[in-house]
Structure 1
């Protein structure tokens, strides 16, 4: 990757550079004034280098590209731009695959393999502010908390300190995560529970039998009637070794006399009314039988109230 200006300083006239980028030529023009000195599909690394050449030495990579380079396990989508931050006074604009955002809150970059990156807390929220629907925001924030170890409180603080544009949905999702959701599916489950009219459950607490033996850590737990709700993904729970662990967990539930509702994540979106009906029916059935002698680990209850 090189700029036309740099080539000119090496003795290559601009006209020659652009002529070599014509169809059938040995080079290709990726961005205004930025040339790849070979043919063929550029690598992601070359695209990032080209974006930084386009924007100059004050640019910082943010969004998904920054998050991936800091450990987020997420595939590159077709047509996904490379998002860069620039100081407000600079005039470089978006072009081609490069999304330029000028800001008065330039972060101190984290350097990785020679690439200046926005810190993960800033990068993930820069991406979230561009999204317009709750499910992809839920998925991204849950992955960032799980895979990058980000603190929901730090994410909330960054939202408070930054621009208000595009922050309403990320704020709502962060409240769900702070309430106990460990994944996007659990956040969706919380939203359905609020529609059910059922009492507030506990989220992600360990259960033990009366002899202190571990039973499970259900996604949601109604302690008054000993009802567990598990959001079971096909990918984990129904493949080896997940299938065996799910069977063992369900056997422990059965041995302890616990009622269980199992829901695959896709039904939370495709059949929300049916899922709510399942929960209400199961709760009523559980309430009609004697409560089995199971206890919560520590018993320091954290109820999730509506927010």
Structure 2
């Protein structure tokens, strides 16, 4: 048997009937289509076209938004030789079986990010794929490829764990937001994206601010203004969840959003909920991790610790709850507060404090 015999070009008829007709040169070669044959198909007036270096569209018309997306992934992703023999499975949009397909992807070392990623995550404030001038993709910093045409490469020292959406590797929402914001100068567009991220339950404000801080975007006034709006939005949502926790958890009603003071003495600080008969307080931690990424170097963190320690020296139990805990484990947080209320009878009486509206 002659192993040098070229494969038959018959697979051409099969390739032009695939759901998404965009393939790399390596994939075409695996189906018996040489580089010369592919270029012949792309001649003027021919049935194919080369949309990016080494990436071919198997029809003459303009690519769809999804075809552009997959073309960029094929251009920027690595193509291990062992995977080149198979045409990647690219389920069509709306395919009822797509969600049940194996969580694998033919694309390696590349993630969709920026506005394209937010569109795939379902953001209504992100434009349709076809209207984007560029498809942004994250690649390792060491890649030698360059941005070209509608493929824009965003280099990173390390890639986050991808979210697979219909087999497409997509950056998590916080990272995709940071990469999108880096390209936007429209303050209203930035505000809409950040607000939808929190209001839509995609992520919490702290994770967004961490990514914006890491990308050094908080020096831009329009981004800072949008973050302030984001934090206000996040706090409002967290407060609503705190009300729901008390109501659905069967806890007795506290007094809400109050300041605590010693009689005739100094201001002790504000708390989000307080049970005077039990000397139990709840405080929502909605700090923006702008300094030290929310660690112990954050001045707000130090201020919070001092206030909590002062209250606890006076015999007041402070339950610290983050918006993420309320979102992911609201019943568990209700149990923590309930335990603190039940344990109040076993503690020494707390110092008398004055409770004032905040």
> How do 1:197-276 and structure 2 match up within 5 A?
none
Please point out which of 13, 18, 38 is paired with 2:34: 13
Structure-2 separation of matches of 1:300 and 1:145: 28
Q: What's the counterpart of residue 315 of structure 2? A: none
Matched, 1:28 2:49: yes
Q: Which runs of 5+ in 2 are unaligned?
A: 1-21, 78-107, 237-355
Please point out which of 109, 112, 121 is paired with 1:58: 109
Please point out which of 153, 169, 188 is paired with 1:116: 169
Rg larger in structure: 2
Change (3 A) 1:41 1:167: farther
Matched, 1:68 2:119: yes
Change (3 A) 1:112 1:159: same
Question: Does the 8 A contact of 1:71 with 1:147 survive in 2?
Answer: no
Q: Which runs of 5+ in 1 are unaligned?
A: 184-298, 302-307
Structure-2 separation of matches of 1:173 and 1:124: 12
Deviations 1:43-94 (A, max 9, x none): 2221111111101121000111211222212432734311100011111111
Question: Does the 8 A contact of 2:195 with 2:233 survive in 1?
Answer: no
Q: What's the counterpart of residue 239 of structure 1? A: none
Q: What's the counterpart of residue 164 of structure 1? A: 216
Matched, 1:145 2:198: yes
Structure-2 separation of matches of 1:170 and 1:60: 24
Tell me how far 1:150 sits from its aligned partner: 2.5
RMSD, matched Cα: 2.6
Q: What is the TM-score of this pair, normalised by structure 1?
A: 0.55
Please point out which of 137, 144, 147 is paired with 1:84: 137
Structure-2 separation of matches of 1:166 and 1:116: 27
Q: How many matched pairs? A: 186
Q: What's the counterpart of residue 204 of structure 1? A: none
Q: What's the counterpart of residue 127 of structure 1? A: 180
Tell me how far 1:119 sits from its aligned partner: 0.2
Structure-2 separation of matches of 1:300 and 1:146: 27
Secondary structure of the residue that 1:158 maps to in structure 2?
helix
Tell me how far 1:135 sits from its aligned partner: 2.1
Deviations 1:110-144 (A, max 9, x none): 11100000001110111001112322211221222
Structure-1 separation of matches of 2:171 and 2:150: 19
Change (3 A) 1:66 1:89: same
Structure-2 separation of matches of 1:88 and 1:30: 24
Q: Which moved more, 1:122-131 or 1:141-150?
A: 141-150
Question: Does the 8 A contact of 1:94 with 1:100 survive in 2?
Answer: yes
Structure-1 separation of matches of 2:210 and 2:134: 26
Matched, 1:106 2:159: yes
> Following superposition, which runs of at least 4 residues in structure 1 exceed 6 angstroms of deviation?
none
Q: What's the counterpart of residue 24 of structure 2? A: 3
Q: What's the counterpart of residue 200 of structure 1? A: none
Secondary structure of the residue that 1:130 maps to in structure 2?
coil
Structure-2 separation of matches of 1:107 and 1:75: 23
Structure-1 separation of matches of 2:63 and 2:190: 29
Question: Does the 8 A contact of 1:129 with 1:167 survive in 2?
Answer: no
Tell me how far 1:99 sits from its aligned partner: 0.8
Structure-2 separation of matches of 1:151 and 1:80: 29
